[in-house]
Amino acid sequence: MKFGAFPIDTAENVILAHTFRRGGITLKKGHEITRADIEALKKIGVTEITGAWLEQGDIAENDAAAKVASCIAGSGVRLSEAHTGRCNLEAEAGGLVLVDEKAIIAANQIDEAVTVATLRDKDAVRAGQTIATVKIIPFAISPVTMNRIEAAMARPAVRVIPYRAKTFALINTTLPGLKPSVIASTTEVTRERVAAVGGSLVAIEACAHDTASTTAAIKAVTAKGADVVLIAGASATVDRGDVVPAAIVQAGGVIDHFGMPVDPGNLLVLGHIEASPVLVLPGCARSPKLNGLDWVLQRIAANVPVAREDIMAMGAGGLLVDTPARPLPRDTAVKKVLTPHAPRVTAVILAAGQSRRMGGPNKLLMTVDGKPLVRKTVETLQAAGLADIIVVVGHQEAEVRAALAGTPVRFAPNPHFAEGLSTSLKAGLSQVPDAAEAMLVCLGDMPALHTRHIAGLLAGFDAGADKLIGVPTHIGKRGNPTLWARRFFDDMRQVSGDAGAKHLIGANESLVYEVEFDDTGVLTDLDTAEQWQAFRAAHTQS
């Protein structure tokens, strides 16, 4: 191919290098000059034209792009029509794209005229998605270049392994206090996650979070013939000998690997029972956001082997930084966030609810120790040293305000309180000052809340050590209130429905610190008349 300025009289069949606009004539880039074009151009005074002249044997850009693409494409791949020197490779079905990275690098080294770009090896793809593109830079390539490309591509370098229609079973283990709404949400998120890889959730079991019960549940679902078993533990797995991994072994299985260098997703457990993979889900799997579990499920669904070595290789690229909630690099985090003083914390008390389960009265206005419950909660936070307290109000707003008369609180009205807990969370968050390093989210109906509970949460907060979400526990069961570092505020502004921000705890387990208490105060909230009667009977309060 020759490129340059051609005298207009010799420009027939020259491929125009740039769009030409002059004297009412428009010829687009890539147009092949004809004898009629020459005559028209000469009439307006054009003496030369810049473009490319193809020599004998040269392969035009579109033909070259299509030919190179056909060399690269393997099974599960279709080619688009080549245009302007580009040909795309597209997935015929959803699955994983397998890329021979060495072959692609070798192809790109042959000649600067030929470029090949692909997705990453083992990326998940949908039907019709572009997975690679071939672009010919000049208007043609030589037959020598094409021969070298064909020699380098002894076998296809890009192919798609489609997802198989596998069946999945889900086991939810439970602990006292784990709300049914959390299990329902986890099940729905898992159902959607499984469907995304072409599978179906065919068996759902719930059992107590102990080894014997979990073993029985595993045996029950494997007996039903599910291809893959998923287990969502009520408590995070912290060791191979923990409850759920131990149950897998007792059910006749093997633990292949614990943990993965993907964040979120660190606490995944991979095992198998006979030919069926068994996965213990990390806490972040309660959220629909991408995490390490998705990468493992994609491979299992496509029958692509996933062993310890494969999981540990996921670390390069395994930091899934898609929200401000991930930690800063340690060298800057300590400088910017670590505080030797007590953290500046704003408390947000959620007091806008309708008390529907009480069957009439507003539980926040009922008396505990001779004062309205919501006032008792405020005074407990004040006694713990929290000076900035925001009370979210909605239902019976005037009455709640009156119950707090004389207390130095700020009010955050929530006109949308009937739409769920998330609206109150966002209403309170909107008034948290910029100077606050963290926010304590407290329910208004916690009669046994004590200053020691608040003090424990505040003492555990350590931004430099990535202790950013404080959760109180009693015998391993998580309760309220919870303490949140500022970096989670943006995620909280995106919550919806009645579940609040609990899914963010599961999505950020590596940043959670638990504070264990020997009393049930952090677990006690009063939603029903029966709970009130039981509480008063136990505490001889009126």
Q: What is the mean pLDDT of residues 205-209?
A: 96
Considering the domain boundaries, does residue 537 fall inside one?
no
pLDDT at 341: 46
Q: Is the pLDDT of residue 327 over 80?
A: no
Same domain membership, residue 219 and residue 306: yes
Considering the domain boundaries, does residue 297 fall inside one?
yes
The residue segments making up the domain with residue 301 are 167-315
Same domain membership, residue 370 and residue 279: no
Same domain membership, residue 250 and residue 111: no
Q: How confident is the model at residue 329 (pLDDT cuts 50, 70, 90)?
A: very low
Q: Is the pLDDT of residue 358 over 80?
A: no
Same domain membership, residue 512 and residue 402: yes
**pTM attached to this predicted model:** 0.60
Considering the domain boundaries, does residue 532 fall inside one?
no
pLDDT at 255: 97
Residue ending a domain, choose from 162, 189, 213: 162
C-alpha to C-alpha distance for 2 and 142, rounded to whole angstroms: 11
Considering the domain boundaries, does residue 340 fall inside one?
no
Considering the domain boundaries, does residue 275 fall inside one?
yes
Same domain membership, residue 501 and residue 380: yes
Q: Is the pLDDT of residue 71 over 90?
A: yes
Q: Is the pLDDT of residue 519 over 90?
A: no
C-alpha to C-alpha distance for 207 and 224, rounded to whole angstroms: 17
Q: How confident is the model at residue 335 (pLDDT cuts 50, 70, 90)?
A: very low
pLDDT at 324: 40
C-alpha to C-alpha distance for 539 and 542, rounded to whole angstroms: 9
Q: How confident is the model at residue 321 (pLDDT cuts 50, 70, 90)?
A: low
Query: For the chain, how are helix, strand and coil distributed in percent, rounded to 5?
Result: 35, 25, 40
Give me the number of domains the chain comprises: 4
Same domain membership, residue 514 and residue 433: yes
Residue ending a domain, choose from 53, 70, 85: 53
pLDDT at 359: 66
Same domain membership, residue 93 and residue 175: no
Average pLDDT, the chain: 89
Considering the domain boundaries, does residue 126 fall inside one?
yes
**Is residue 175 packed enough to be buried (19+ CB in 10 Å), middle (13-18) or exposed (0-12)?**
middle
Same domain membership, residue 392 and residue 296: no
| CATH number of the CATH domain containing 418 | 3.90.550.10
Asked which of 237-251, 313-327, 451-465 is least confident by mean pLDDT, the reply is 313-327
- 158-168 per-position pLDDT tens digit: 999 999 999 99
Considering the domain boundaries, does residue 155 fall inside one?
yes
- 258-299 per-position pLDDT tens digit: 999 998 899 999 999 999 999 999 988 888 888 999 999 999
Considering the domain boundaries, does residue 337 fall inside one?
no
Q: How confident is the model at residue 180 (pLDDT cuts 50, 70, 90)?
A: confident
Same domain membership, residue 77 and residue 17: no
Same domain membership, residue 281 and residue 145: no
Residue ending a domain, choose from 144, 162, 180: 162
Same domain membership, residue 49 and residue 96: no
Is residue 139 a contact partner of residue 82, using CB atoms and an 8 Å limit? no
Q: Is the pLDDT of residue 322 over 70?
A: no
Same domain membership, residue 469 and residue 397: yes
pLDDT at 377: 94
pLDDT at 541: 43
pLDDT at 509: 83
| CATH number of the CATH domain containing 287 | 3.40.980.10
pLDDT at 163: 97
